[in-house]
Amino acid sequence: MARRPRPSAALAAYLGLSAALLPALAPLVLRRRLARGKELPDRWREKLGHATAPRPNGPLVWMHAVGLGEVLALRALIGQMHARHPDLQILITSTTRASAEVLAANMPPRCRHQFLPLDTPGAARRFLDHWRPDLAIWAEQDLWPGLVWRTARRGIPLALVGARMNARAYRARARVAPLYRDLFARFALISAQDVDTAAHLKRLGADTVREDGSLKPAAPPLNADAAALAAMRTATKARATWLAGPTHAPDEALALAAHRARLASDPNALLIMAPRDPSLRDQVEQACADAGLRAALRSTQPQPTPQTQVYIADTFGEMGLWYRLVDVAFIGGTTGPVEGHNPWEAAQLGAAILHGPRTANFAADYAALHAANAARRVDDADTLAAALGAPDTADMATRAQGLATRSMDRTAALCQELCRLIPTPHRSPT
């Protein structure tokens, strides 16, 4: 699709306001976040465009995603792009501290991570001057208008992949539809996860939209430390162990109630609770105490003891360990306003998937899993407790793994189109 050489009135207004207000506010906001532990002390200036790593030689693709799940999903593209383009270097950007810390334990080869610069003229200039990407890929739904415009103005091809936009997100963006129409016109490729997202993008002004599904089921499985996994398997041997995670307060209340019911029939059962925000460990530990359950923290106790009833996984980067350890996982975020977390990480590692009723963020994913009888919805503690002991959980897990494997074909087709956007001097034969 043709790129507009000049910004529309809507984009020009955004660029003017961001140039006037953000440069002075950005350092103040970042220092306040640093004081609260929300930024890494040695890397917060990356958000002002100051790189903390050198640019590697050769062609470089810049991939951006907001948070943890989206960043890990990018690995589905990275592996296939490397297979087609062996000398390709990848720069991954994100915005959250958790995404950086977990990605460090799951970093593909020839990749490096930086935090996305704030949407100010100076930060964008420093970032683009240093990294000089040959292709920019934005994932899911986070677009920073100034960065998109400044990237396109330098002649760098842009792609939007794994786009996800439910009805509520569409209504919010429809209020500034002229801005999105301008932004979408600057993308050479736009790929949606599902038919509803594709329709929403077209209503916002996107011209041609592909439908390639979610990247998440095609991403490589999360890593796990082999020694830690062996130690945990020894510690939980002969115990019926299940996982709830990544959890929020409503998920935790449901899981603890279900675990109490399960302990009535199996006093040796063990629940591993992995809170989405490990810094809330004290609240989770108190919830366990209020439920009359004996809890231990991963951060202070390397393995659960025979007396531990709930083991709180209050560490970053170990979800691959927990999914490998258990046969059944209750996926968090599905009982409250979060509207669901990624079920595919559990599916890839052989855990049967249970979830609550609220899955709007992954509606297409859960629909596909249910169509294959590869996941089960639970609505309360009683149905969750019953599902934990269902005889078909192993079959459910096998079917979910099969779906994840088949999704790689669609990702391969998308990868081929992305590789064609890399400028000709750097492009490998496809």
Q: Which of 39, 70, 285, 318 is catalytic?
A: 70
Active site residue 140: no
244: CB partners within 8 A, 6+ apart: 251, 252, 255, 271, 272, 273, 274, 329, 330, 332
CATH number among 3.40.50.11540, 3.90.1280.10, 3.40.50.11720, 3.80.30.20, domain 9-21+43-214+409-423: 3.40.50.11720
Rounded CA separation 51/93 (Å)? 11
Rounded CA separation 90/390 (Å)? 43
What is the DSSP-derived secondary structure letter of residue 107?
P
- Rounded-to-10 torsion of CA 127, 131, 132, 135: -100
- Give the model's confidence band at 426: pLDDT under 50 very low, under 70 low, under 90 confident, else very high: low
**Do 226-406 and 9-21+43-214+409-423 have the same topology in CATH?**
yes
Angle between helices 195-203 and 167-174 (to 10 degrees): 10
Asked if 165 contacts 139 with a C-beta cutoff of 8 angstroms, the reply is no
Rounded CA separation 55/110 (Å)? 11
pLDDT of residue 40: 92
Amino acid in the structure at residue 395 = D
Q: 11: buried, middle or exposed (CB in 10 Å: 19+, 13-18, 0-12)?
A: buried
Give the helix/strand (H/E) hosting 91.
Answer: strand 89-94
pLDDT of residue 410: 79
Rounded CA separation 229/349 (Å)? 13
Exposure class string for 328-356: b at 16+ Cβ within 10 A, else e: bbbbbbbbbebbbbbbbbbbbbbbbbbbb
| pLDDT tens-digit readout, 50-78 | 999 999 999 999 999 988 888 988 998 99
How many helices (DSSP H) and strands (DSSP E) are in the chain? 18, 14
What is the DSSP-derived secondary structure letter of residue 412?
H
CATH topology for 226-406? Answer: Rossmann fold (3.40.50)
pLDDT of residue 339: 94
Query: Coil, helix or strand for 334?
Result: coil
Rounded CA separation 143/154 (Å)? 17
Q: What is the mean pLDDT of residues 403-421?
A: 88
pLDDT of residue 155: 96
What is the DSSP-derived secondary structure letter of residue 42?
T
326: CB partners within 8 A, 6+ apart: 241, 242, 243, 272, 351
| pLDDT tens-digit readout, 330-378 | 999 999 999 999 999 999 999 999 999 999 888 889 999 999 999 999 9
Asked if 140 contacts 65 with a C-beta cutoff of 8 angstroms, the reply is yes
Q: Report helix, strand and coil shares of the chain as percent, to nearest 5.
A: 50, 15, 40
Residue 427 has pLDDT above 70, yes or no: no
Residue 415 has pLDDT above 60, yes or no: yes
End-to-end CA, the chain: 22
Asked if 196 contacts 228 with a C-beta cutoff of 8 angstroms, the reply is no
- Give the model's confidence band at 424: pLDDT under 50 very low, under 70 low, under 90 confident, else very high: confident
Q: What is the mean pLDDT of residues 288-315?
A: 97
173: CB partners within 8 A, 6+ apart: 165, 180, 204
Rounded CA separation 405/348 (Å)? 8
- Report residue 34 CA to chain centroid gap: 23
Contacts of range 16-22, beta carbons closer than 8 Å, 24 or more positions apart: 18/119, 18/120, 18/121, 18/145, 18/146, 19/120, 19/121, 22/118, 22/119, 22/120
C-beta neighbour count of 218 within 10 angstroms: 27
pLDDT of residue 1: 44
pLDDT of residue 5: 64
pLDDT of residue 429: 45
| pLDDT tens-digit readout, 144-197 | 999 999 999 999 999 999 999 988 899 999 999 999 999 999 999 999 998 999
Could you tell me where the DSSP H helices lie in 224-380? 226-235, 249-265, 281-290, 319-325, 344-348, 363-371
**Taking CA 94 as the corner, what is the angle to CA 168 and CA 187, rounded to the nearest 5 degrees?**
65
Return the domain boundaries, the chain. Answer: 9-21+43-214+409-423, 226-406
pTM of the model: 0.81
pLDDT of residue 4: 53
Asked if 161 contacts 137 with a C-beta cutoff of 8 angstroms, the reply is yes
Residue 203 has pLDDT above 80, yes or no: yes
pLDDT of residue 2: 45
